[in-house]
Structure 1
């Protein structure tokens, strides 16, 4: 099953195969004990709904959304709750994940995947967004192979064990997130650590997009999947164990 790769072609969701790999956490798989297939929908055995807005049932969703969500579940073992919550507005779902793909899977510039996820963590912590902090801390742990740094940034970025390069990047992101008046001094500090003007744009766009995502999560009272808490903290499941 393959999701279309041309942007918004024929109204279908435009996401690259690489996006599917990233959003489903690469080759990470959760232990079978914590996996469980559930249909989408507002009804839940959880004591707290994942969203304060209705979550559409799978049978009521457009085919392209179901196709993507099934692909993500197949690759990662579960469907992140943001997919289910945004399915309340299918057109906005498509637009959101199309722009996510553009920002987070860009192959040019000096930002690594771990850099982008750390920017999301810092931005989301500043905006007090439990869903994005939890989900993207997991992704940062996977890409960076560092199990502690995202947690440190969430608690206090000034005391986190950041490299000088990472600190300059996070300081710039937080200036955008607050927001501050951005001056040439902000750009100069980045340039001292190898970031050019296009990199500054990338940092700012990731920050701005996830500041929006944080607000959506607050609006919907979006709850993190329990599975995120273990990702990047437990060993990979070997192929023969799958």
Structure 2
């Protein structure tokens, strides 16, 4: 790896540290590998990646298959993870619920079941509701959304399904519900990021562990 890879800073999920109050925090080292590509021996990976894997084991009991698969290019994994964390957990105008809603509907639009499962779990953690995320993933028209949430959902779906049809007119509904241009950019970044991660997941068989679907129910 290039020398500067060691300088890559890994941002922390704000709830990534396991605690006694966290029912899914375990210490067992458990790896389930789902990848059509070679997966490196964890002992050969940079310390930042090994630490990231251990954080996931401490929190969930396993390492997400996306991270295992992407570790074949550890420098890119860390760069992606920093960007993903900034989008999903960093400072911004969208709420955690809104960000996870965008993640779910974007992944559903791309037929990425693994990403849908992952972010349904994250949304359950955020809103403490085991029913809403499943219903949202099935059909956003069947759940109760605020006008702001609905505008974000429709924008995210269009980015992932019909981006070539987007025009300035598509921004009007977002502004009408009070979203600033910076918030609209934030929503677009999240939706587009999932276009990337969904396609990587599907291209290389990075199927998520079935254990993920049991979290926070």
Classify the TM-score, shorter chain: 0.7 to 0.9
Shift of 1:23: 9.2
Q: Structure 2: how far apart are the matches of 1:60 and 1:100? A: 24
Distance 1:169 1:22 in 2: 27
Q: Secondary structure of 1:161's partner?
A: coil
* Residue equivalent to 1:15: 10
Q: Is contact 1:149-1:162 (8 Å) kept?
A: no
1:92/1:198 CA distance change after superposition, 3 Å: same
Gaps in structure 1 of 5+ consecutive residues:
1-7, 234-242
1:140 corresponds to = 123
Name stretches of at least 5 consecutive residues in structure 2 with no aligned partner.
Answer: none
**CA displacement, residues 59-95 of structure 1 (integer Å, 9 cap, x when unaligned):** 2222221122112322333222211111111121111
The answer for the alignment partner of 2:149 in structure 1 is 166
Count how many residue pairs are aligned between Structure 1 and Structure 2.
213
- SS of 2:58's equivalent? helix
Change in Cα spacing, 1:118 to 1:23, as seen in structure 2 (3 Å) is: farther
Farther-moved stretch of structure 1 (172-181 vs 132-141) = 172-181
Q: Name the counterpart of 1:37.
A: 29
Q: C-alpha separation between the residues in 2 aligned to 1:131 and 1:153?
A: 15
Question: Where in structure 2 are the equivalents of 1:9-88 lying within 5 Å?
Answer: 11-17=6-12, 19=13, 21-22=15-16, 28-30=22-24, 36-38=28-30, 40=31, 50-88=34-72
Cα drift, residue 53 of structure 1: 0.9
- TM-score, length basis structure 1: 0.79
From the superposition, tell whether residues 23 and 164 of structure 1 become closer, same or farther in structure 2 (CA, over 3 Å): farther
C-alpha spacing 1:28/1:225, structure 2 compared with 1 (3 Å): farther
- Structure 1 runs (4+) deviating above 3 angstroms are 22-25
